[in-house]
Structure 1
Amino acid sequence: MSVSNPTLITFVIYIAAMVLIGFMAYRSTNNLSDYILGGRSLGSVVTALSAGASDMSGWLLMGLPGAIYMSGLSESWIAIGLVVGAYLNWLFVAGRLRVQTEHNGDALTLPDYFASRFEDKSGLLRIISAVVILVFFTIYCASGVVAGARLFESTFGMSYETALWAGAAATIAYTFVGGFLAVSWTDTVQATLMIFALILTPIIVLLATGGVDTTFLAIEAKDPANFDMLKGTSFIGIISLMGWGLGYFGQPHILARFMAADSVKSIANARRISMTWMILCLVGTVAVGFFGIAYFSAHPEVAGPVNENPERVFIELAKLLFNPWIAGVLLSAILAAVMSTLSCQLLVCSSALTEDFYKSFLRKNASQTELVWVGRAMVLLVAVVAIMLASNPDNRVLGLVSYAWAGFGAAFGPVVLISVLWKGMTRNGALSGILVGAITVIVWKHFSLLGLYEIIPGFIFASIAILVVSAMGQGPSKKMVERFEAAENDFKLHH
């Protein structure tokens, strides 16, 4: 172990606390609805923070600060796009989806909601959407496992193989035992840790580099273009970065948080908390990378690891500037970011396998206890596949996070958004939206047309497909329209 004990001790305490929360949640998990959606009992604070934490993975503390450290403020367009996308998602989708899932057969998963909302007797809509979830999320989980392994590897000098299992074991444990409640409660703790780390670190870096004026002069001396938001960008480049925000409408692990809120009344409050948390975190992240430029140009003797891999800028600053005990807490924030996202994704995959395949097609009359245990078994299955994918860190799969985000954003985003806003949408419209969105992303990515991020054409073509196909065929049944209107009235009444 190449690190002083305080860091190791804080990591162990942190992981033990997460697993303990898992066992506390275990006692509140009696049926499948509890395991998959926490029995729809989340208050506004937990809804808000777990939606934030499940979305912001290790990218927030490693990828983004590294990009800013390398290229300056021109990399921050993606943060602007994410804030706009997340806000619109809270505004238009969150409350309505909460009510619509309740009115449509008390749906527990997205495929479940689609099947009930569009009265899909064939099971085609459920199968296709569950397959999309499994394929893209397994890739996503693998990238989370790698991020956790890299953290253990660099902090404790472990071999990659050992770090792989060490990093994944704790997350698998509490997700397996406590299900959705464990994931949401731990997310809340993890979100608190992340914001603490991202507010404290830039302030201490500023003090270490001699205050705001000195820091800005040092950054300018290194390269004046660091301040230029348009440096090295093009119109298409900026649109592509902003386009990340479109992904929010279709991310199953974030939408599950809305479905699990205790009532629509909690949503408006949750939106304010979540957006405040998100903006503070993103500002802190950008500041860490940006002020890091000044710190490491003033201390070139310690800049080696960061110049070798810019994504380590937060890790190195935490180790250099803080007492080892505090550094341990700050580094566990990276682990928190990785674990919070990974646990949500494992659970969404498990619920797709349990609710949408096992219960719907294999065992219609399975008892609740049986379904919960099948759900747990599926968490293990998906985790093992993700670890196998992650076992080769040079694997091309791991470059696919932006691909998975685009896949969900284009395949599900328009379907979810239009399904909660327009009563005229039909089953064939939904099916064509999912297929057109997914296929556009795959084809566009393959030919890398115009250098535009594939989510944008995917989202546009899927939306057009939904509107055109819904308008062409037989309209929605009278019952579908009545359910939609009842849910919409419910939403307006309590919103």
Structure 2
Amino acid sequence: LAVGPVGGWSVVSGELAAWDPSFLDPLALGGGALLGLVGIGLGSPGNPHILVRYMSIDDERQLRFAAVTGTLANVLMGMGAIFIGLVGRAYFPEIGLLPAQDTENLYPLLARETLHPAVFGMVVASIFAAIMSTADSQLLVGASAVVRDLYEKGIRKGEEVPQRHLVILSRAVVVALVVAAVILGWAAEELVFWLVLFAWAGLGAAFGPPLILALYWRGTTRAGVIWGVLTGATVTIIWYLTPALKDRMYELIPAFILAGLVTVVVSRFTRPPADVDEVFEILRGADRPPQPPRAPEPGGDHLR
């Protein structure tokens, strides 16, 4: 919709090349930057606000469909964001043409310039819908971590805590998280984006590899998972705080790889749970379609 009015993609690419040829060069920022851009998807398996959607699915037989659909949607959104940036640069070559000189205003401004007002309203509504969809998941995960993991299972371990008390405390934590997020976003606007990328890398590298291995490899052990989590988190922090490393590659890539390797190595030298075969049989059964009940054999005591 945005490319058509300016004469097609050839016109857009021509304007971008005339302005700066590096806009169309995927290796302009180096191979490490390109690898980091592609590998940013590795953070998905380790982020709780994404995992909780699979964990709360009503029918486990729909997990494969949900995973494929979610992956395709993420690919389309990622490619769409890249092309919106390219087309937007052709529409507005100077950042001074954007409201408040803020590149985050490009998407709604481009929609306003190219779409019917009614469709533009739907685009703006979709932005807020996407924000709320992510925010509510993260707030619920954060409140659950504080109330269930820290308070109920830690501070009040072994005690019977009234459900009403937990609900009230959860709501209070949600409000506190919202207030803290608003203050942080207001006081450190430029820092928020980098904090999001850092948190995405830390969670993805710490929990992603052990989780994937635990689901698909029978040899994964408790010690392997613990060391994998520690490795992913530690490498992410060290890589992020080392300018020479941070400038070469997004910290998620090396941290994810090393966390997976450590999980495998430690698991090789430790013993898996005794019921691992039983657990994997349950997982396999959940992946199979339901089987019709078998008819009783002739002469068998099927009423017993």
| TM-score between the two structures when normalised by the length of structure 2 | 0.82
Q: Does 1:472 align with 2:269?
A: yes
5 Å matches for 1:71-220?
203=1, 205-220=2-17
In the alignment, which residue of structure 2 is the partner of 1:344?
A: 137
Larger Rg: 2
The one of 444, 448, 454 equivalent to 2:239 is: 444
Shift of 1:350: 0.9
Q: Does 1:291 align with 2:87?
A: yes
Separation in structure 2 between the aligned mates of residue 438 and residue 296 of structure 1, nearest angstrom? 40
The one of 229, 241, 254 equivalent to 1:457 is: 254
Separation in structure 2 between the aligned mates of residue 338 and residue 433 of structure 1, nearest angstrom? 31
Separation in structure 1 between the aligned mates of residue 87 and residue 191 of structure 2, nearest angstrom? 32
In the alignment, which residue of structure 1 is the partner of 2:34?
A: 238
In the alignment, which residue of structure 1 is the partner of 2:69?
A: 273
Q: Does 1:263 align with 2:56?
A: no
The one of 252, 259, 263 equivalent to 2:48 is: 252
Separation in structure 2 between the aligned mates of residue 453 and residue 405 of structure 1, nearest angstrom? 11
Separation in structure 2 between the aligned mates of residue 306 and residue 400 of structure 1, nearest angstrom? 24
Tell me if the contact between 1:429 and 1:469 (Cα under 8 Å) persists in the aligned partners: yes
The one of 381, 387, 391 equivalent to 2:182 is: 387
Shift of 1:381: 2.4
Shift of 1:325: 4.3
Number of residue equivalences: 286
Q: Give the counterpart letter for 1:228 in structure 2.
A: D
Separation in structure 2 between the aligned mates of residue 225 and residue 390 of structure 1, nearest angstrom? 32
Query: Is there any run of 5+ residues in structure 2 with no aligned partner, and where?
Result: 291-304
Q: Which SS does the other structure have where 2:166 is aligned?
A: helix
Residue identity over aligned pairs, in percent, reads 33
Flag the 1:388–1:347 CA change in 2: closer, same or farther, 3 A. Answer: same
Shift of 1:253: 0.8
Separation in structure 1 between the aligned mates of residue 136 and residue 256 of structure 2, nearest angstrom? 27
Shift of 1:213: 4.3
In the alignment, which residue of structure 1 is the partner of 2:200?
A: 405
Separation in structure 2 between the aligned mates of residue 304 and residue 397 of structure 1, nearest angstrom? 24
Tell me if the contact between 1:250 and 1:416 (Cα under 8 Å) persists in the aligned partners: yes
Q: Give the counterpart letter for 2:260 in structure 1.
A: S
Deviations 1:33-81 (A, max 9, x none): xxxxxxxxxxxxxxxxxxxxxxxxxxxxxxxxxxxxxxxxxxxxxxxxx
Flag the 1:269–1:425 CA change in 2: closer, same or farther, 3 A. Answer: closer
Shift of 1:406: 0.9
Separation in structure 1 between the aligned mates of residue 10 and residue 91 of structure 2, nearest angstrom? 13
Flag the 1:365–1:456 CA change in 2: closer, same or farther, 3 A. Answer: same
Separation in structure 2 between the aligned mates of residue 221 and residue 420 of structure 1, nearest angstrom? 50
Shift of 1:247: 1.1
| TM-score between the two structures when normalised by the length of structure 1 | 0.52
Shift of 1:347: 0.8
Q: Give the counterpart letter for 1:354 in structure 2.
A: V
Separation in structure 1 between the aligned mates of residue 109 and residue 51 of structure 2, nearest angstrom? 34
The runs of 4+ residues in structure 1 deviating greater than 4 Å are none
In the alignment, which residue of structure 1 is the partner of 2:222?
A: 427
Deviations 1:78-100 (A, max 9, x none): xxxxxxxxxxxxxxxxxxxxxxx
Separation in structure 1 between the aligned mates of residue 74 and residue 250 of structure 2, nearest angstrom? 23
Shift of 1:414: 1.3
Separation in structure 2 between the aligned mates of residue 395 and residue 281 of structure 1, nearest angstrom? 23
Q: Does 1:334 align with 2:139?
A: no
Shift of 1:225: 4.1
Flag the 1:489–1:207 CA change in 2: closer, same or farther, 3 A. Answer: closer
Separation in structure 2 between the aligned mates of residue 304 and residue 382 of structure 1, nearest angstrom? 35
In the alignment, which residue of structure 2 is the partner of 1:188?
A: none
Which protein, 1 or 2, shows the higher relative CO under an 8 Å CA cutoff with sep ≥ 6? Answer: 1
Q: Which SS does the other structure have where 2:44 is aligned?
A: helix
Deviations 1:418-468 (A, max 9, x none): 111222222222211111211111111111344222112212222222222
Deviations 1:218-264 (A, max 9, x none): 3444344433323x232222222222122112111111111111122
Shift of 1:367: 4.1
Q: Which SS does the other structure have where 1:478 is aligned?
A: coil
Tell me if the contact between 2:61 and 2:286 (Cα under 8 Å) persists in the aligned partners: no
What is the root-mean-square deviation of aligned Cα atoms in Å?
A: 2.8
Separation in structure 2 between the aligned mates of residue 385 and residue 292 of structure 1, nearest angstrom? 33
In the alignment, which residue of structure 1 is the partner of 2:296?
A: none
Tell me if the contact between 2:61 and 2:287 (Cα under 8 Å) persists in the aligned partners: no
Tell me if the contact between 1:220 and 1:227 (Cα under 8 Å) persists in the aligned partners: yes
Separation in structure 2 between the aligned mates of residue 386 and residue 293 of structure 1, nearest angstrom? 31
